[in-house]
Amino acid sequence: MRGGIRIASLVASGAIAACFGAGPTPQQLTGVDVVFAIAPPADHSDCGGSDSLYIGDVAIGSDSGAAGLGFAWLFQYNPGFRCDNNTGGPPTYMGALWSFAGPALGGAVVDATVNNSAYAPRVAIRDANYEDAYFGNTGGSNASNIGIVVDPGMRALNSTMTLPHTNFGGVTALVDDGATRIIAATDNVTTSSVPDVDDPAYPLGSAPSFNNTPTTFFLDTAGSGSDSITATAGPQVVLACDTLHACVVQAPTSIAYMQTPPMEHQGSAAAEIWTIDTSAGPAGFGSAAPAYFADVPKAIDSLPVVPVGLDADSTDIVWSASVDYRNRTSGHGCWIWRQPIGSASPIQLLATENFSCMDLAIDRADGDLYFAIVDYTGDDYDHSSGLRGIGIGRVDSSGALESISLGFTGYETGPRRVVVRGDHVYAIDATEIGRLATSLFTGKNDFTP
């Protein structure tokens, strides 16, 4: 069953219990809103992909009123289950940026600029306005320049930031804390393909890989109402983004990012976490030196491990790892660490092989960490397996776990990304964004670590 149980159904009666897959049976929940939704593709329709959309990058602002203001990129793809059980096709990133302020289905198109883009655009919010970053040929033939568009008025900022190389590239990250905007631009994207972590068909499907290619950081402090942008080029690094939605995150005076380990460390580390000081603003960013922070191990208990989550606040950097779904790994695993900024000693908060996980988000009010609990049961050649989000977990600074089973079943269903705003967790699946009150987690233990 493709659709499984959507987030909206979590507030319905127990009559839908027959659709639940194996695992914990979720309790009836109240306090769940669907803030944005698009129609899922139908089984066994044409393989053209023009009617198959999924939610790409998402930015959610302050959590107020019925739901927080948000923006979401929608992209086309060719789902494998509709194409005679093959792996489908890669996303074309032909789509549009939508705004939403739920609880209400649908939204409004605010930017349809990207058309037939080869690499996924990114979106952020500043002062309740959106800003998106994508590659365009604004500098002429064969030039790779970053385009920035800021609402309202669709003001095109002076953003023709030509990269060190002119080969076609992509925007790996766009983050903005309201004072400092960071853009990570990869200028020589490899021609090899890996699964797109946001593609509903993940770990199947394919998309350009950003690993092992040079990425340049740009820093800007111009406000959203500015008519120009002055982007200061900073360090060039080699990011490790292929298994995370967000591989670059902001703390108040620094950024943290996942980096491909140097050759001499690749036998033991799947990735490394590094930081760059941004406290000096544009004046100091060009000469800022990256600093090593921590490793993500390459294997735990003989299971191949990859990074799946990264976040930071004013005191800590946190990260998570899980089994490598791309290698069709059997077994489960989820490991979460916290390390105070300035410390060299990571603290392991969660280590379990009872379930797997993706993404990680800090609740900045109390330091609790939220993550998506996922299940991978192999390739979906009978429409009953594949990767799905089955719950949301919360772990506190002592390592105590609370969790809610969402009861999703069916290929390509369930949230794999989480965003925390105010008193709510936003759970993002391929076609829906749901909002759960953080109070729902208190005393819930649907998953045993």
What are the backbone dihedrals phi and psi of residue 284, each rounded to the nearest 5 degrees, phi first? -110, -5
Q: Is 267 exposed, middle or buried (0-12, 13-18, 19+ CB in 10 A)?
A: exposed
Choose among 114, 111, 101: nearest CA to 152: 111
The beta strands (E) that lie in 288-396 are given as: 291-297, 299-300, 303-312, 316-323, 334-340, 347-352, 356-362, 369-376, 387-395
pTM: 0.86
CA distance 95 to 98: 10
What is the per-residue pLDDT for 23? 36
pLDDT, position 22: 34
The reply to whether omega before 252 is within 30° of 0 (cis) is no
pLDDT averages per 10-residue partition of the chain, 449 residues: 41 28 43 78 53 82 64 73 49 67 56 54 77 51 49 43 51 84 72 68 65 77 58 82 91 94 85 94 89 94 92 97 79 95 94 96 96 79 65 96 81 85 90 89 94
The answer to whether 426 and 419 are in contact (CB under 8 A) is yes
What's the Rg (C-alpha) of the chain?
20
Sheet with 32-37: strands ordered across: 32-37, 432-437, 424-428, 417-421
Question: Please, what sign has the CA dihedral across residues 222, 226, 231, 237?
Answer: positive
Q: How far is CA 138 from the centre of its chain?
A: 27
d(Cα 246, Cα 175) in Å, to the nearest integer? 10
What is the model's pLDDT at position 210? Answer: 59
Evaluate whether 288 touches 216 at the Cβ level (below 8 Å).
no
Q: What is the pLDDT of residue 248?
A: 95
pLDDT at 220: 79
DSSP strand E in 221-301: where? Answer: 232-238, 248-251, 254-259, 269-277, 291-297, 299-300
pLDDT (0 to 100) of residue 217: 87
